[in-house]
Structure 1
Amino acid sequence: MSTATSPGKGSTPPPPEKSKARAVAPRLDLHHVSLFAVLAVLALVGGLTKPDEFLSTDNLQLILTQASVIGVVTVGVTFVIIGGGIDLSVGAIVALASVWATTVATQEYGLAGMLFCSLVVGLGCGLVNGVLVAYGPMVPFIATLAMLASARGLAEQLSDGKTQVVTVEPVLDLGLPDSYVLGVPPLVMIFAVVGAVGWLVLNRTTFGRRTVAVGGNPEASRLAGIAVKRQRLLLYLLSGLCCGIAAFMLIVLTGSGQNTNGNLYELDAIAAAIIGGTLLSGGRGTITGSVLGVLVFTTITNLFALNNLQSDVQQIAKGAIIVAAVLVQKGRTSP
């Protein structure tokens, strides 16, 4: 004799797209509010400890500019994590793209040539990662770890371990105050555009819904007709593209290309995404949260620098924030 099954036990879970719709709903949730509150507290601390320095226009521009490069990388990493993957190679890809784009041969093609080279190198590395993960198949951790080592080594080989100075004036001019629009640096505007496009893609397109679905339940997504392998490939291509953009931004910011560029970017980007509410297991996350996470970390770094505090204390503080964010996530997802 069959009995009716209660909705809470034994029932078939709703399709991934529907069950995860709340994850990318275009609204300001409690987690975002808490991140805004953290930023407010950090601003208060900065205003009380170093009011003249912290609240100055130059310092606020510096915070936003420093957040821009890692912020663009974080947007790409957020998509990969929501899709159920991980990318440990983003920092090395940024280094390789920055070095390749600042070789003497590439600089002969001017700003357009350097930008094109950065994007192509980023996309190429993303393509390799995507093929290995989606069609290899390889565990994302191993595939991207291999790319991390290979890209970093190739960057050192291309640069011969030396700093490659940019001589293209239009590229250098982008980092000067004369290029600011209403007091906003060009790099910050690029970050804003990338973040806005990322938000629209995640929340308003089929690609975004499929990303959430694949990260939440790959098998159910496959049965629903989603090309899971292709989706994963596209996610790593997107991450590589963001790395290429970030590499060019870093070239503008530093006026050079180095094999040490992007050092530990992978950890900073993943950490920013986590405290922004992205689940490492996939299926949930927001671009807004990741951007706020980047701003929190960058503001902390700025406060420590202004108050002449040691970097080891700064790393401890960041680690504590990551642990707290993960504990909050577990509390929110536990039945």
Structure 2
Amino acid sequence: MSEQPTRDSDVIVADVPTTTTTTVVTQPAQSPLRQVLGGPVGRNAGLVFALILIMAVGAITAGDTFFQISNMLTILRQASIIGVISIGMTFVIISGGIDLSVGSVMGLASVAATLAAVQEFADQSHWIVMVIVALGVGLAAGLINGIVIAYGKVVAFMATLAMLVAARGLAEILAERRTLTVKPRDFIEFLNSDLIGIDVLIWIFILVSVAGWLLLNRTTFGRRTVAIGGNREAARLAGINVKRHTVWLYVIAGLCAGIAAVMILGRTTAGTSTHGTLYELDAIAAVVVGGTLLVGGRGTIVGTVFGVLIFATLSNVFVQNNLSSSVQAVAKGIIIVVAVLLQQRFAKRPARE
């Protein structure tokens, strides 16, 4: 049999591979200015602008007294206690959680530190005993919250709501619905003293804020917190012990509540179960206004500090102009709603770009 001739078309089909043309679509590069404005610097710049605007309104309506050093220190003093609580709340919310119990834990810690037995022991030794008791109560409450949420798998909202009710009730039982007076004079004098003209309470707020910033931005703990808030399951698959980390986050929130209890004891010279009422809502509001996403995954300590200062300055403006607390509450509500709306807008922007 003779061989069949090979056709050119057969050779072409056999020797030339089939290629697929891929079209690469590139997104237009963002300008450096837009990148800056879309990041933490831009968000914080907006907070600075809002704070300056409120201060300008205060200066116009209240006159020269608003920018006096004494009034500025008053604003910082008023912001210090809720500011410390807000630092702890920032960590919890960045991780995608919530803590409704910090105000009640603060009240319980203030009562525990001013019990007769504790103050008697403090008189015999040192007033630092009262500080240790207050911090211990905050740590214990945060630990319970963390264990119930992480290992008991109870929703954070319900677990901390239960702690809110329980801590307030226990504080009433321990105090017998009375106001417990702080007796050690050294304790009161220290917390009401000043260092280079700045109150000790303000210094405590500064130290807690700096420590919180370093923990969130310069440690593995902070990066893991953001990762858990961004995607809990992905963080677990990446090797992060999510349960143990969650416990530590609520311990931090409880510790901040204990520190705030010590601060309010110095300011009011009394421990009572009513201390910290609704402070959890003020802390959440400051954190949200500061740019921390309620769903977790993003937030800054600097933003929280500005959020606290915005509300403290706003309150001072209302006081300076003799406006009612009801009007002030309405203004706070409007600010919170605007902040959440802006969060939703900017949180969706990266998905479209």
TM-score (norm 1): 0.91
Equivalent in the alignment of 1:82: 94
Q: Alignment partner for residue 214 of structure 1, among 190, 207, 228?
A: 228
Equivalent in the alignment of 1:233: 247
Q: Alignment partner for residue 146 of structure 1, among 162, 181, 194?
A: 162
Q: Alignment partner for residue 82 of structure 2, among 70, 73, 91?
A: 70
Query: 1:28, CA displacement in angstroms?
Result: 5.5
Is the aligned partner of 1:112 residue 2:128? yes
Amino acid at match of 1:320: I
Amino acid at match of 1:72: V
Equivalent in the alignment of 1:14: none
Question: Residues 159-217 of structure 1, C-alpha deviation per residue, up to 9 Å, x if partnerless?
Answer: 111111111111110243xx211210001001000000100110000000000001110
Equivalent in the alignment of 2:175: 159
CA distance in 1, matches of 2:196, 2:83: 21
CA distance in 1, matches of 2:23, 2:281: 45
CA distance in 2, matches of 1:309, 1:234: 41
CA distance in 2, matches of 1:223, 1:7: 31
CA distance in 1, matches of 2:271, 2:78: 17
Q: Which runs of 4+ in 1 moved over 4 A?
A: 1-8
Query: 1:53, CA displacement in angstroms?
Result: 2.9
Equivalent in the alignment of 2:298: 284
SS, match of residue 174 in structure 2:
helix
Kept in 1, the 8 Å contact 2:96–2:228? The answer is yes
Equivalent in the alignment of 1:191: 205
Classify 1:41/1:168 alpha carbon distance in 2 versus 1 (closer, same or farther; 3 Å).
same
Query: 1:122, CA displacement in angstroms?
Result: 0.1
Q: Alignment partner for residue 57 of structure 1, among 45, 60, 69?
A: 69
Query: 1:331, CA displacement in angstroms?
Result: 0.9
Aligned residues: 319
Structure 1 segment 1-335 matched on structure 2, within 5 A = 29-108=41-120, 109=122, 110-176=126-192, 179-334=193-348, 335=351
CA distance in 1, matches of 2:22, 2:137: 57
Classify 1:2/1:137 alpha carbon distance in 2 versus 1 (closer, same or farther; 3 Å).
farther
Question: Residues 107-148 of structure 1, C-alpha deviation per residue, up to 9 Å, x if partnerless?
Answer: 121421100001100000000000000000100000000000
Consecutive unaligned residues of structure 2, counting only runs of 5 or more, are 1-18, 27-34
Equivalent in the alignment of 2:16: none
CA distance in 1, matches of 2:22, 2:262: 60
Kept in 1, the 8 Å contact 2:191–2:263? The answer is no
CA distance in 2, matches of 1:170, 1:224: 50
Equivalent in the alignment of 2:5: none
Classify 1:224/1:2 alpha carbon distance in 2 versus 1 (closer, same or farther; 3 Å).
farther
SS, match of residue 277 in structure 1:
coil
Query: 1:305, CA displacement in angstroms?
Result: 1.1
CA distance in 1, matches of 2:118, 2:163: 23
CA distance in 2, matches of 1:42, 1:161: 39
SS, match of residue 324 in structure 1:
helix
Classify 1:49/1:223 alpha carbon distance in 2 versus 1 (closer, same or farther; 3 Å).
same
SS, match of residue 198 in structure 2:
coil
Amino acid at match of 1:234: W
Root-mean-square deviation (CA), in Å?
2.2
CA distance in 2, matches of 1:255, 1:174: 12
SS, match of residue 195 in structure 2:
coil
Classify 1:5/1:300 alpha carbon distance in 2 versus 1 (closer, same or farther; 3 Å).
farther
Question: Residues 199-255 of structure 1, C-alpha deviation per residue, up to 9 Å, x if partnerless?
Answer: 011000000000000111010011100000011000000100111111101101111
Identical aligned pairs, as a percentage? 51
Classify 1:2/1:207 alpha carbon distance in 2 versus 1 (closer, same or farther; 3 Å).
farther
SS, match of residue 50 in structure 1:
helix
Consecutive unaligned residues of structure 1, counting only runs of 5 or more, are 9-21
Amino acid at match of 1:146: A
Kept in 1, the 8 Å contact 2:118–2:129? The answer is yes
CA distance in 1, matches of 2:22, 2:99: 44
CA distance in 2, matches of 1:192, 1:4: 55
Rg comparison, structure with higher value: 2
Equivalent in the alignment of 1:15: none
